[in-house]
């Protein structure tokens, strides 16, 4: 679809105005507010054209125009200019990361919080992980007579804990020895690699190894890492969600991990780091997201550790600003990951 410059201008202005007012935009309002050099009648004609193209729609015969989902899509695809975030905003965000605790979990929580606050919408961040679970370190801690706590550290900083009950009591010294042995031998191995080492261990060692392998398999089976959410209440202040049943559908997809993993798996999981994906109105596939838009990005180190992050808000969303924010936070996290979690 090829639009004239004037049509592009009018579409842009209508979207801009509608994002602010949340109301249908009329031709004369537009001319008045933006000091257009042509008259409202001209605007009306162009509006009629844009409506024919499917980019605008009228809630009813004698109302102003509202952008359709296709209208937003055209806007995001062709008209939105990727403006960088203002310098002082960027500085504030960087500063927050700089002075937070030096811990991935903390960074991910902070990223979610920053996204939520900057975009005034709900945000999500998933922990970075590699396609294969790679062993880094194991620790075995005696807790009580026949019980031990296994702490497994994976590449990417993911930590898994698991209680194990043994047949017979065991001393911490013996445990430490096994843990050291495992940590040393299995270093940088994937599941298969660890399985191959099995014969080298005694009975107890093999029991531990089974738990270890099981944990790593579980990690690989789940498509995303730990999920951090923030700003769920932000979307509740948007007028389109004033009847809260609408909001319920939208937020439910965030709260239900399986739904969210599905969404991420079929969109951003196989996209490139650095790229931004914008889902508008569920794109016909996601019934629960019919009233929302989602801006998603992938961050991390393309070949090793990646995670997703994004923002969920109403379709009437300031896409330029949101895209810039998501993009910037993704970059910050990518930097942190490659500086701290690389091979």
Partner DNA sequence: TTTAGCACTCTCGTGTTGAGAGTGCTAAAA
Partner DNA sequence: TTTTAGCACTCTCAACACGAGAGTGCTAAA
Which of the listed partners (DNA, a second copy, none) does 143 bind, with a CB threshold of 5 to 8 Å by partner kind?
a second copy
In this structure, what token pair is assigned to residue 149? 């706590």
- Min separation Cβ 83 and DNA, Å: 28
Q: Does residue 61 touch DNA according to CB under 7 A?
A: yes
Return the number of the residue (46 or 230) whose C-beta is nearest a second copy: 230
- Out of 241, 299, 319, 328, which residue is the one contacting a second copy (CB under 8 A)? 241
Query: What residues contact 333, with CB distance under 8 A and at least 6 apart?
Result: 107, 108, 111, 125, 128, 299, 300, 307, 309
Sequential DSSP letters for 68-93: -HHHHHHIIIII---PPPPHHHHHHH
Long-range contact pairs involving 150-154 (C-beta distance under 8 Å, separation at least 24) = 150/208, 150/211, 150/212, 150/215, 152/212, 152/215, 152/216, 154/129, 154/216, 154/219
Which of the listed partners (a second copy, DNA, none) does 141 bind, with a CB threshold of 5 to 8 Å by partner kind?
a second copy
- Out of 91, 95, 198, 248, which residue is the one contacting a second copy (CB under 8 A)? 248
Which residues 69-88 are close enough to bind a second copy by CB under 8 A? none
Tokens 């193209």 -> residue:
53
Q: Does residue 67 touch DNA according to CB under 7 A?
A: no
Q: Does residue 157 touch a second copy according to CB under 8 A?
A: yes
Sheet hosting strand 227-230, strand order edge to edge: 227-230, 122-126, 306-314, 292-300, 276-280
Q: Which stretch binds DNA (CB under 7 A): 56-64, 79-87, 141-149, 311-319?
A: 56-64
Which residues 277-306 are close enough to bind DNA by CB under 7 A? none
- Min separation Cβ 90 and a second copy, Å: 23
- Out of 8, 9, 33, 40, which residue is the one contacting DNA (CB under 7 A)? 40
Q: Which residues bind DNA (CB under 7 A)?
A: 24-29, 37-42, 44-45, 47-48, 51, 58-65
């Amino acid at each position: 679809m090829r639009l004239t410059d004037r049509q592009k201008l009018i579409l842009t202005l209508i979207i801009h105005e509608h994002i602010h007012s949340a109301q249908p935009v009329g031709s004369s309002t537009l001319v008045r507010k933006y000091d257009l050099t042509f008259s409202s009648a001209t605007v009306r004609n162009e509006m009629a054209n844009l409506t024919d193209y499917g980019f605008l729609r009228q809630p009813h015969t004698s109302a102003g125009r509202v952008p359709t989902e296709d209208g937003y899509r055209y806007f995001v695809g062709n008209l939105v200019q990727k403006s960088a975030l203002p310098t002082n905003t960027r500085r504030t965000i960087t500063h927050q990361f700089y002075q937070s605790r030096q811990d991935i979990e903390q960074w991910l929580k902070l990223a979610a919080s920053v996204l939520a606050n900057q975009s005034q919408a709900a945000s999500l961040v998933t922990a970075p992980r590699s396609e294969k679970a790679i062993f880094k370190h194991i620790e075995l801690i005696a807790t009580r007579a026949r019980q031990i706590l296994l702490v497994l550290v994976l590449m990417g900083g993911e930590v898994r804990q698991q209680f194990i009950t043994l047949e017979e009591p065991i001393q911490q010294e013996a445990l430490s020895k096994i843990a050291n042995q495992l940590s040393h031998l299995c270093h940088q191995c994937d599941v298969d690699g660890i399985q191959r080492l099995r014969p080298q261990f005694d009975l107890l060692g093999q029991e531990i190894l089974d738990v270890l392998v099981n944990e790593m398999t579980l990690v690989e089976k789940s498509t995303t890492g730990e999920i951090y959410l923030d700003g769920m209440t932000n979307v509740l202040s948007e007028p389109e969600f004033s009847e809260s049943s609408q909001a319920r559908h939208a937020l439910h997809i965030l709260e239900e991990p399986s739904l969210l993993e599905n969404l991420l798996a079929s969109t951003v999981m196989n996209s490139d780091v650095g790229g931004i994906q914008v889902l508008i109105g569920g794109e016909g596939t996601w019934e629960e997201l019919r009233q929302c838009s989602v801006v998603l990005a992938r961050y991390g180190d393309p070949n090793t550790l990646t995670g997703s992050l994004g923002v969920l808000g109403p379709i009437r969303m300031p896409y330029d600003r949101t895209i810039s924010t998501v993009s910037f936070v993704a970059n910050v996290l990518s930097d942190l990951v490659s500086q701290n979690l690389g091979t």
